[in-house]
Amino acid sequence: MIIRAKNLGFCFGVKRSLAFTEKNYPEPIYTFGELIHNSRIVESLKNKGIVAIDDISEADGGTVIIRSHGAPVEVLGLAKERGLNVVDATCPFVTKIRNIVAEKYAEGYKIAIFGMANHPEVVGINSICDYTAFVFDETFPEELYEESKVCIVAQTTSSAEKFKNIINKIEKDRLKTVEIFDTICYTTKERQAEAEELSKKCDVILVIGDSNSSNTRKLKYICERNCKTFLVKSANDLKNIQIKVGEKIGIVAGASTPTESITEVIHYMESNYTDAKNEEFLQAVDAVETNGKLVLREGKRMKVKVTYADEKGITVNFGMKIDGRISAEEATLDGSYNPADYPQGTELDVILLSAKAEDGVYPFSKKQVDKIKEGDKVVDSIRNGEEFALVVDRDTKGGLLGKIGTYTVFIPASQIKERYIHDLKPYIGKTLRLTCLEIDDAKRRIVASQKVILEAERKEKEEIFWTNVVPGVVVSGKVKSISKFGAFVSVDGVDCLVHITDISWTKFKSIEDILKVGKKYEFAVLKADREKGKVSLGYKQLQKHPFDVAIENHPVGSTFVGKITSLMPFGAFVEVEPGVEGLVHVSEASNTYVKNINDIFKVGDEIEVKVLAVDSSEKKITLSAKACLPEVPEEAHKTERKDKTRAPKKNDVQKEEAEWSENAGNNPFADLLKDIEVKK
């Protein structure tokens, strides 16, 4: 019995890096180091003219693709200095680690990396902090216990189990200040957990992949603790491995293992260690004899022999007195019929189109059988979990049915979507994207799932989302709904909230006046909490502040007419722009002395003012009404000074009983004597 892990083949990061090699770039094309740790892929790229180099100086112009592991910062700098076209195929999950290290190193943290010191991913991360990181893969460095601030990250393909144990010990020992980031890739965690579970059920585990692949070696380490485990690169390695017939065999594969290698190994194992070795190709409906008489039934699959062939078709004999006929249209799948391809005596696999003779012959179709065989070839290509498309023929109790070649495909209702589907009728005639869960060759039956594909895509999207959606980033989102406390916005399928206080700088009556449901806008990410699944967005943060608009429209020295919004003893507030006010100090209200601001201004008055000064840090604008009035003659100033009375001070209130008149405060000589005690 052979059991395949669900997660086989390239991970997201590997698929992404390989996709870069399919694009057109200035030649020659290089990869910095092996693009992925798999010799088969590296050789394939070399055959395409894409050569792996370990030193940028080896690149003679053209393009260099940075592998999924990333590259040291000095390598990137040197590549640009040499004028190379740099294509960064660094895995987003590795980029996330590099960003964390850059930020924390700048904040004075000591960096610790859980991983292998010589692994290219770790070397690249270490370069971010000037190669000062402590790299460990077993015991946490003792010297870091003396550091005041420590930041810990993990290589994406590290052992999740080991990292968890080390972190538990660190938290128990309680470092002074330590920030721990679990940066092991989620696909790595899933594959390791699956390998652990599978190895406990099986007698033998085959780990498919290269020995220089970090994640592949860790899968082998996990499995060999529970059962016999072999690391194989291809089917050739299986010839030297002794496996007993009847043993339960599990198959897992590293994230950098190509589909070709996986398919070869599975095919070899199924051919040599299962009943499939002795199975023959089964017809859809075998020929049946009743009382020595051949029973004909429409749709019956039969073997026939060619009598002769001409331009109109092929005449065949199938043991009846009446011949059969395959028309030219029903002879081939691709329409390339040639009578010379069907000499007398050739045996053909056909399907009976009608149980009644037409024009003295029974009609057969070879094309329909060829189509079934093509379907059977598809079955071979999906055995390792590759995605395939299927048109649903009908529904049945508990699921949907379709056909691939001679195989019936069953999709359980629980495997159509991520949520259970009760009404199956709408799916009839629809095309589903499926992956194989189980194949029973004896019964020609396949159990498939669309849910697995949708879940994997959702997880990848979520991982990319949370990797990239961090405070300060600008995202595009569609407004889904409005509530009394804000707007809900969908960003890449994730619901985020724009709180009512982050919608506009100015007062507004309704959120709908600013954000419309169903429309897309750009927002600033204010907070992102992955554990709680919450993201806070801001709309006003991407709009100009009203104060900035006001000082752009009314620079220092300019004049404008504004409405008085409020009066205070020290001056009048004037609207500069909606939501922005400036102050006309009482001393700038008039070119004559003003004792009471209410004597010359009223709320709602429109007055001309001049902008005297702007304080951007305090968001203050100083205005002057006096600067916009005609100058008063000197004689008027003299008269004003004669009549002007100084405003009373606190000390004056305490001296109400002194033998001085109210105007004594304007007498210079009186000022000299004000502190001398008066004897009564």
590: tokens are 């008039």
Q: How far apart (Å, rounded) are the C-alpha atoms in residues 199 and 11?
A: 21
Active-site residue set: 121
Q: How far apart (Å, rounded) are the C-alpha atoms in residues 652 and 675?
A: 11
Is omega for the bond preceding 141 within 30 degrees of 0, making it cis? no
> Which residues, in sequence order, are bridge partners of residue 536?
497, 527
Angle at 399 between CA 395 and CA 404, to 5 degrees: 75
- With H, G, I as helix, E, B as strand and everything else as coil, classify residue 610: strand
CB 409, CB 431: distance < 8 Å: no
Q: How far apart (Å, rounded) are the C-alpha atoms in residues 214 and 192?
A: 12
Dihedral (Cα; 642, 646, 652, 658), 10-degree rounding: 10
Classify burial at 159, counting beta carbons within 10 Å of its beta carbon; exposed 0-12, middle 13-18, buried 19 or more. Answer: buried
**How many residues can be counted in the chain?**
680
Q: Residue with structure tokens 């049945």? A: 396
| DSSP per residue, 149-186 | -EEEEE-TTS-HHHHHHHHHHHHHHT-SSEEE---S-H
Classify burial at 334, counting beta carbons within 10 Å of its beta carbon; exposed 0-12, middle 13-18, buried 19 or more. Answer: exposed
* Residue in 67, 80, 59, 62 with CA at minimum distance from that of residue 25: 62
Neighbours of 386 (CB within 10 A): 16
> Which residues, in sequence order, are bridge partners of residue 614?
621
The beta strand positions in 361-492, using DSSP E, are 362-365, 388-391, 394-396, 399-404, 407-412, 431-440, 445-449, 474-483, 486-491
647: tokens are 């405003």
554: tokens are 């009314």
Distance of CA 555 to the CA centre of its chain: 45
Neighbours of 401 (CB within 10 A): 15
